[in-house]
Structure 1
């Protein structure tokens, strides 16, 4: 079940460094791509930092629309995650090719993907993009899978298919792993 998260807590959905999937739409076209270089940047207003290569089709759509969806995929769609990172959306509809199920976003035009554990809807803050391919974006809506995120923290349970992934290279990932706690100074 998707549940809204207060915007000032949006960083908690990305702070464990997972691979992400970017969705974009403009002018009747939409695209999807994998992205490993996304991170939380600020709390209020919530911002994220994302790298999108100038040659990417998604970049064209984001440049034109000024917005994008940022999703944290589950292990169960690892093959699709690699696939959308290797195939160009200029050549074909990646949503159809990889049989990706979508739903409408709350505040942006880009479609959002099912089979994820977190979703952030983002609007680009102009100026950092051209020279370094960096996108700073404000999070305008965020939500999570209530089975995997509760009490303001992740709980992936025992099913590895429900965990998030960390990309290494050449189609290899690490799964989010064992949870443990280290006492803090206050404890």
Structure 2
């Protein structure tokens, strides 16, 4: 065994696909790239996510208590990285990166037309926000684009490296 720097531990425990989180505040929509999230409950679906207090989206999410988690397929990888490497303080990321905002039904934050799935969310619990920037979101409405067949997601491995969803398998367990 060899010592691994603690700053690289997150590369071993990557929580899931890279997603886009949209917010809307004071008539202005924004989108950020996010990879620190996890499922917490099946029904109602609860998702925990970390949004840095330095991110422009943090203030909007904290104030409005709602967002959309949009799940992009691998074909959007370059745009996802561009979104993540820019700030909504400086530019309109929807226009700059050719993303199409769509009206959501239950929140003001927009869906993203190019993504294969969109989850309308409200903040269900903010108790860990001040300490860890951790929001607990309840999914209110879920959308899927049936035209995008078998989409492959991207998974951040750190320092500009990504893995693409690969082969799947189904294992059946024996019930006793």
The separation in 2 between residues aligned to 1:128 and 1:170, in whole angstroms, is: 27
Gaps of 5+ in 1: 1-15, 149-154, 157-161
| Residue 147 to residue 97, structure 1, CA distance change in 2 (3 Å) | closer
Find the counterpart in structure 2 of residue 21 from structure 1: 20
Gaps of 5+ in 2: 1-14
The separation in 2 between residues aligned to 1:184 and 1:146, in whole angstroms, is: 30
Write the deviation string for residues 81-120 of structure 1: whole angstroms up to 9, x where unpaired. 0011110110111111101112111110011112212111
**8 Å Cα contact 1:30-1:61 kept in structure 2:** no
The separation in 1 between residues aligned to 2:82 and 2:59, in whole angstroms, is: 19
**Structure 2 residue 105 is the aligned partner of structure 1 residue 106:** yes
1:1-150 pair list within 5 angstroms = 17-125=16-124, 126-147=126-147
Please list every run of at least 4 consecutive aligned residues from structure 1 whose deviation after the TM superposition is greater than 6 angstroms.
none
The separation in 2 between residues aligned to 1:118 and 1:168, in whole angstroms, is: 22
Higher gyration radius (CA): 2
Write the deviation string for residues 32-75 of structure 1: whole angstroms up to 9, x where unpaired. 01100111111232211000001110111111111010011011
| Residue 147 to residue 29, structure 1, CA distance change in 2 (3 Å) | closer
Find the counterpart in structure 2 of residue 177 from structure 1: 166
Write the deviation string for residues 7-42 of structure 1: whole angstroms up to 9, x where unpaired. xxxxxxxxx921111000011122101100111111
The separation in 1 between residues aligned to 2:117 and 2:39, in whole angstroms, is: 13
Q: What secondary structure does 2:171 align onto? A: coil
Aligned length: 161
Structure 1-normalised TM-score?
0.80
Using the TM superposition, give the Cα deviation of residue 147 of structure 1 relative to its aligned residue in structure 2, in angstroms.
Answer: 4.8
Structure 2-normalised TM-score?
0.85
